[in-house]
Structure 1
Amino acid sequence: MRPVIPYVTAALLFGLGVYGVLRRRNAVLVLMAVELMLNAVNLVLVTADTTVRSELPHGGQVFALFVIVLAAAEVGVGLAIVLQLYRLRASVAVDEVPLTEPPATLAPAGAGTIEENR
């Protein structure tokens, strides 16, 4: 087997995933793009395992299984965050998510300072 074809396919998948992460506004589509990138990494790991001799037998396949487990956990946590975002904002647009909270007011409006209230 020529390892060039899987490596080029993995590079295309990874590039498509990066494009999806950088260009998409919908959080679910961003999660799907991250999954594409993880699948590209799995393809590289398995291809390298079959073409390169190493002391660890089936090391690439074992690492690919770990990546699959991490991807499943990422999907679970990511979808929970997206659902909570949808409940709060009624939208899953990533560019509308506030990254900082507005400053909390310490005193109600018109309360004045401590010296004024004495």
Structure 2
Amino acid sequence: MNMIPIQHYLLVGAALFSIGLAIAITKRHFIGILLGIELMLNAVNINLVAFSRHDPEKLSGQLFSLFVIVVAAAEVTVALGIILRVYGRFRTVDPDEVSELKK
């Protein structure tokens, strides 16, 4: 069986994390920021599974990856609910336009 070296997984994970961080920092809409955070979580998942493949006797990396996926799904649900409420009140999804918490 041809095994891919762990460095390749880590390189892809680091690239995805960097792209996600750049997106989260530079986007002007809540949805774009949320997509950047999701990319960063997926990069963490790649690293966890890569380390789990490095030691096949332990499945802790795959279990942590499963927990990250569950937390990411819950985070998306809550974040989209908040975004919909903010849009309903302020009629924008631009974080700079939302300047007050109480009206």
Report the TM-score, using the length of structure 1 for normalisation: 0.79
Q: C-alpha separation between the residues in 1 aligned to 2:24 and 2:53?
A: 30
Displaced runs of 4 or more, over 3 A: 99-102
Counting matched residue pairs gives: 100
Supply the distance in 2 between the matched residues of 1:94 and 1:17 (Cα, whole angstroms).
18
1:3 Cα deviation after fit: 0.8
Identity over aligned residues, as a percent? 38
- Amino acid of the residue matched to residue 29 of structure 2? N
Q: Distance in 2 between matches of 1:64 and 1:51?
A: 15
1:50 to 49, 53, 59: 53
Which of 38, 44, 47 is residue 41 of structure 1 equivalent to? 44
1:23 aligns with 2:26: yes
Higher helix share: 2
Q: TM-score, normalised by structure 2?
A: 0.90
Unaligned runs of 5+ in 1: 103-118
Matches within 5 A, 1:1-118: 1-52=4-55, 57-98=58-99, 101=102
- State which structure, 1 or 2, has the greater radius of gyration over its C-alpha atoms: 1
Give me the CA root mean square deviation: 1.6
